[in-house]
Amino acid sequence: MRFVDPEQIEVPAGESFVVALSGNGVGGYLWETEELPTPLRLLEERDVEPAEVIPGAGGSKEFELVSDAGEATARFALRRSWEQEPGRTVAVRVRAH
């Protein structure tokens, strides 16, 4: 399952899923995990190029996760490597059953 810019998702426990966050790479900003509490686990991260290669087009970042049964909130931050404060943060509530 793949979810693009979600706020809340429901997934089967133990099955992997992908959270895709748009806007990666624009102006030096890159998505990173900020908080992944139990029962969430990160399996893989990957950068995805934009569908159209035009100046200023941003890609996305995919986070492949798996969750044991339960509820948790994953937090992601869009930041430049040389800045401490993120330009944007996203919280994704995950419910696995």
Ordered structural domains, the chain, with CATH? 2-96 (2.60.40.2020)
pLDDT in tens, 16-55: 999 999 987 778 899 999 999 999 999 999 998 877 777 6
Record the pTM.
Answer: 0.91
Q: Which residue, 40, 6, 25, 12, is CA-closest to 79?
A: 25
Q: Are 24 and 59 in contact (CB under 8 A)?
A: yes
Write phi, then psi, for 84 (nearest 5 degrees): -80, -40
What's the whole-number average pLDDT of the chain?
A: 92
Q: Using the structure block, give the residue that is written with the tokens 């404060």.
A: 85
